[in-house]
């Protein structure tokens, strides 16, 4: 099998041995859209994390049999065209759950304890100037007994709920927005966010969730609320979030995702200078262990496909 990996840089130089054992692997650190057809002309299998495979590209690759998405989301693949060309598409789900959960609570712990502010104070010599043994310049709050609202209760949402309960939080599962009926164990979306001390987003980005958190919804939140997003940037309207943070409509936010990535200099969140926002560069998923699991699962998908077995098939 001829296998082409288009964006190996996203795998952080972790060993590709499980994939290399399966065939002739050609690996590129980064591939732009103009290079895809040339690089994949003889490929039986393409591995891509974020490189777009569209209908035009698929029509130019008659030998292609399988696209392995080195991620969970498949927005970069034209699934309709892949099906029409008889190309199977598979992804990898759940490989990064421990890392994303850890990152979520790292953001939350820093925000609840104002850790970033205290670290800056210590680095800037304020502790040495204290008239007592500690400094208490910024509020410190516990996760215990807070209303912890989860938006999106799949594998990640459930894992976050488990840890939130371990901290002693009161976990509330929000129903999908605009639903007329509420499933057992869930709370209507607006009721949930109105009660929230902490909101953690783990749902997909789609027509129903795009700009789910806008100025109208922010006005429903408590001024003490903390918003976390390790899902997709477009779920939260970024200008509305900046306005809410500036005007103290909500207390703080921790984000690992933006609407356009890589980040653009014009993004409102990048230009916000307040100390109630923590922004990380979409690396919540990228623990070494996660990437190793991802590589292993890609190899398993390729092996299963080659032998006619079950793969994590999208089309």
Closest CA to 290 of 12, 8, 30: 12
- CATH no. for residue 26? 3.40.50.720
* Whole-number Cα distances in Å, 225 to 72, 196, 221: 29, 6, 7
Structural domain total, the chain: 2
Residue 114 and residue 185 share a domain: yes
Model-level pTM greater than 0.95? no
Point out the residues that are catalytic: 232, 261, 282
Residue 141 and residue 6 share a domain: no
Residue 191 and residue 74 share a domain: no
Asked whether residue 312 is assigned to any structural domain, the reply reads no
How does the average pLDDT of the chain come out, rounded?
96
**Structural contact between residues 85 and 43, judged by C-beta atoms closer than 8 angstroms:** no
Residue 199 and residue 70 share a domain: no
Asked whether residue 313 is assigned to any structural domain, the reply reads no
| pLDDT value of position 308 | 83
Asked whether residue 75 is assigned to any structural domain, the reply reads yes
Domain residues for the domain of 89 are 2-95+288-307
| pLDDT value of position 276 | 97
Query: Does the pLDDT of residue 309 top 80, yes or no?
Result: no
Query: Does the pLDDT of residue 2 top 80, yes or no?
Result: yes
Asked whether residue 144 is assigned to any structural domain, the reply reads yes
- In SS3 terms, 58-89 reads as HHCCCCCCEEEECCCCCCCECHHHHHHCCCEE
* Whole-number Cα distances in Å, 135 to 21, 138, 284: 56, 8, 30
Query: Does the pLDDT of residue 87 top 70, yes or no?
Result: yes
In whole angstroms, what is the distance from residue 193 CA to residue 225 CA? 9
| β-bridge pairing 277-279 and 45-48 | unpaired
| pLDDT value of position 307 | 87
Residue 59 and residue 173 share a domain: no
Asked whether residue 55 is assigned to any structural domain, the reply reads yes
Q: What is the mean pLDDT of residues 154-170?
A: 97
Q: What is the mean pLDDT of residues 248-266?
A: 97
Residue 256 and residue 110 share a domain: yes
Query: Does the pLDDT of residue 9 top 70, yes or no?
Result: yes
Residue 268 and residue 178 share a domain: yes
Residue 210 and residue 241 share a domain: yes
pLDDT band at 165 (very low <50, low <70, confident <90, very high): very high
In whole angstroms, what is the distance from residue 91 CA to residue 245 CA? 36
| pLDDT value of position 257 | 98
pLDDT band at 290 (very low <50, low <70, confident <90, very high): very high
Query: Does the pLDDT of residue 314 top 90, yes or no?
Result: no
Query: Does the pLDDT of residue 315 top 80, yes or no?
Result: no
Residue 121 and residue 83 share a domain: no
In whole angstroms, what is the distance from residue 296 CA to residue 287 CA? 14
Asked whether residue 315 is assigned to any structural domain, the reply reads no
Which residues 6+ apart lie within 8 Å of 128 measured at CB?
none
Asked whether residue 137 is assigned to any structural domain, the reply reads yes
Residue 158 and residue 81 share a domain: no
Residue 176 and residue 249 share a domain: yes
pLDDT per residue over 30-45, tens digit each?
Answer: 999 999 999 999 999 9
Residue 260 and residue 122 share a domain: yes
């Amino acid at each position: 099998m001829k296998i082409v990996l288009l964006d190996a840089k996203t795998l952080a130089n972790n060993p590709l041995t499980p994939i290399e054992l399966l065939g002739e692997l050609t690996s590129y650190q980064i591939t732009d859209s103009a290079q895809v057809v040339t690089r994949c002309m003889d490929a039986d299998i393409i591995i891509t994390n974020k490189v777009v495979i569209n209908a035009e590209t698929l029509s130019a690759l008659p030998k292609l049999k399988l696209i392995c998405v080195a991620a969970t989301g498949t927005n970069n693949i034209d699934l309709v065209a892949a099906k029409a060309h008889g190309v199977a598409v598979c992804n990898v789900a759940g490989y990064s759950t421990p890392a994303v959960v850890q990152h979520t609570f790292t953001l939350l712990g820093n925000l609840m304890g104002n850790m970033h502010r205290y670290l800056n104070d210590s680095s800037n010599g304020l502790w040495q100037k204290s008239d007592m043994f500690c400094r208490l310049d910024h509020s410190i709050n516990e996760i215990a007994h807070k209303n912890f609202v989860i938006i999106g209760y799949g594998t990640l949402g459930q894992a976050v709920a488990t840890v939130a309960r371990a901290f002693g939080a009161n976990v509330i599962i929000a129903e999908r927005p605009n639903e007329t009926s509420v499933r057992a164990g869930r709370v209507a979306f607006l009721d949930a966010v109105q009660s929230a001390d902490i909101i953690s987003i783990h749902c997909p980005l789609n027509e129903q969730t795009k700009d789910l958190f806008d100025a109208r919804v922010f006005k429903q939140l408590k001024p003490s609320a903390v918003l976390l997003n390790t899902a997709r940037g477009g779920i939260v309207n970024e200008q509305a979030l900046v306005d809410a943070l500036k005007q103290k409509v909500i207390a703080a936010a921790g984000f690992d995702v933006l609407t356009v990535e890589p980040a653009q200099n014009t993004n409102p969140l990048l230009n916000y200078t307040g100390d109630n926002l923590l922004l990380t560069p979409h690396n919540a998923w990228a623990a070494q262990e996660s990437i190793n699991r991802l590589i292993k699962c890609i190899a398993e998908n390729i092996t299963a496909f080659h032998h006619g077995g079950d793969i994590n098939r999208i089309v």
